[in-house]
Amino acid sequence: MGSYRMCVCFTRKFKVTEAAPPTDVKDAFNRYAEGGPHMTAEQLHRFLVDVQGQGFATKGDAEGIVQQLLQKRHHMAKFRRHALTLDDFHHYLFSADLNPPIGDQVHHDMTAPLSDYFIYTGHNSYLTGNQLSSDCSDVPIIKALKRGVRVVELDIWPNSTKDDVHVLHGRTLTTPVELIKCLKSIKEHAFRASPYPVVITLEDHLTPDLQAKVAQMVTQTFGTMLFCPDSECLKELPTPEKLKYRIIISTKPPKEYLEAESNKRKMNNSHNVKESDDDVWGKEPAELTVDQEDEKTDSDASENNQDNEETDACEPEVRLSRAPAYKHLIAIHAGKPKGGLKEGLKVEPDKVRRLSLSEQALEKATMSHGTDVVRFTQKNILRIYPKGTRFNSSNYKPLIGWMHGAQMVAFNMQGYGRYLWLMHGMFRSNGGCGYVKKPDFLMNVNPNGSVFNPKADLPVKKTLKVCILHY
């Protein structure tokens, strides 16, 4: 007869130790519980109105909070009492579900042009991890949209057989995902968290034939959801309220893309292209650069293969004639006039556009052209993106962009760290709708024509409120 070993496991439940309520919480509890050990629903209702400023709260709301707390914390206590202890009250105050830090109501004016808002913006929205070798997928796009992100970026490239379109981070080891899969996921989840418009920024590396295919995909996928302006260039950006449940496409028009490609080839052939510190993945198209740091193509250079480039150079007019539908889909044109940074920030009276700068280019711009940046963002869209060396999908300080009125401060949503938390916290405001109205001082123009200067030493404005009591 053999011998056997037996292992017996005993389970023991440990109570999670909670931090003791701070003094101000104890004082509030004692005040509204009138010195008693429990706070009733009626007493909690008075607290909600007097302290929390929830004048719309009813006694029924307070009773619901009490019931949820007791069910969550004391499964049996709900049959014995209907009041909160000090610990229950403390738990309620710090509960993100029962007492969220910001209300879920949109309270900003949503009838101003899009340029008047900070917009929740993603960078390389399709990446699941780092910028070099992670998978491309529609999953991070879905997660971002559910969080309330309103700007999704897709880098579109030809597939290996050049008969379809993939989304991937060019010239890296990232595995591609089909464009149509991303578009369908955007359609399904775009307005789960917010009814306000979703902007798709395309980094286009396609031939005209594939651009026409993209136009067909986009049109068939989104249908009437797609916002297509009547004119070729918008003179003023529409409002978020007017664009509810609409999809907006933003990219470089085919003509500007061709000119940039042609100019880049000439510079490459003459070996006069200057290497940029930020240009990790390739070189910029010269006519679309702002001090060699314009569109995000510093991390995804606008290069197709050599055979396509030679064909494109020979027949530019034919190429343009193949993609009229694609051009018509572009609601917000990207790119800039020829010239340096000063010229790139010039405000044109008859059209609006989107300009992209890397985080480093923005810092350089704000040193000498801070007020020009602010003035540009009063009418146009400025997008800031992470420098190309952030291989681990880290992020940068968003405050510099916000302080100068940049609407689209693009972040790696799959990243981590305090700057990303700051971004998430910023867009918890205004009901988490993805649009936060810029402060008036960023939009005001003084009588002498000047605008807000972020570097100026301004006196602190004080507001005196006088309360007159009648006895």
**pLDDT value for 284:** 34
Cα dist. 359→115, 182, 231, 404 in Å?
A: 19, 27, 32, 13
**pLDDT value for 288:** 35
Euclidean distance between CA atoms 438 and 451, whole angstroms: 14
Residues 348 and 379 in one domain: yes
Is 467 a member of any domain? no
**pLDDT value for 110:** 98
From the first residue on, what is the mean pLDDT of each consecutive set of 10 residues in the chain (471 residues)? 68 68 94 94 94 89 92 68 90 86 84 98 97 97 98 97 96 97 98 98 94 96 95 92 98 72 61 39 37 41 35 40 78 82 91 95 95 97 96 96 98 94 95 96 95 91 80 59
* Residues recognised as catalytic: 123, 169
Is 15 a member of any domain? no
Residues 281 and 369 in one domain: yes
Is 265 a member of any domain? yes
**Chain position carrying tokens 């710090």:** 94
Please, is 19 exposed, middle or buried when counting C-beta atoms within 10 Å of its C-beta (0-12, 13-18, 19+)?
exposed
Is 453 a member of any domain? no
Residues 87 and 141 in one domain: no
152 close to 123: Cβ distance less than 8 angstroms: no
Is 101 a member of any domain? no
The whole-angstrom distance between residue 112's C-alpha and the CA centroid of its chain comes to 19
| pLDDT tens-digit readout, 75-118 | 665 456 789 999 999 999 988 788 876 667 899 999 999 999 99
**pLDDT value for 384:** 98
Nearest residue to 196 (alpha-carbon basis) of 102, 68, 322, 108: 108
Residues 83 and 124 in one domain: no
The residue type at 280: V
Q: Write out the residue range of the structural domain in which residue 75 sits.
A: 23-93
Q: For residue 440, what are its two tokens?
A: 């008036």
Residues 81 and 119 in one domain: no
Is 450 a member of any domain? no
Angle separating helix axes 254-269 and 306-314, nearest 10 degrees: 110
Rg (CA), the chain: 27
Residues 46 and 155 in one domain: no
Residue 394 maps to which CATH number? 3.20.20.190
Nearest residue to 277 (alpha-carbon basis) of 266, 290, 259, 292: 292
205 close to 155: Cβ distance less than 8 angstroms: yes
Residues 72 and 140 in one domain: no
Q: How many CB atoms lie within 10 A of CB 121?
A: 29
Euclidean distance between CA atoms 158 and 176, whole angstroms: 10
Q: Count how many domains the chain has.
A: 2
Euclidean distance between CA atoms 94 and 413, whole angstroms: 26
H or E, element range at 143:
helix 139-147
Q: How many CB atoms lie within 10 A of CB 24?
A: 9
| pLDDT tens-digit readout, 166-187 | 999 999 999 999 999 999 999 9
Residues 81 and 154 in one domain: no
Residue 32 maps to which CATH number? 1.10.238.10
Residues 65 and 138 in one domain: no
Residues 40 and 142 in one domain: no
Please, is 72 exposed, middle or buried when counting C-beta atoms within 10 Å of its C-beta (0-12, 13-18, 19+)?
middle
Residues 302 and 411 in one domain: yes
Q: How is the chain split among helix, strand and coil, in percent rounded to 5?
A: 35, 15, 50
Is 406 a member of any domain? yes
Euclidean distance between CA atoms 421 and 360, whole angstroms: 21
**pLDDT value for 300:** 41
Residues 79 and 156 in one domain: no
Is 396 a member of any domain? yes
| Of the residues 59, 93, 127, the one at which a domain ends | 93
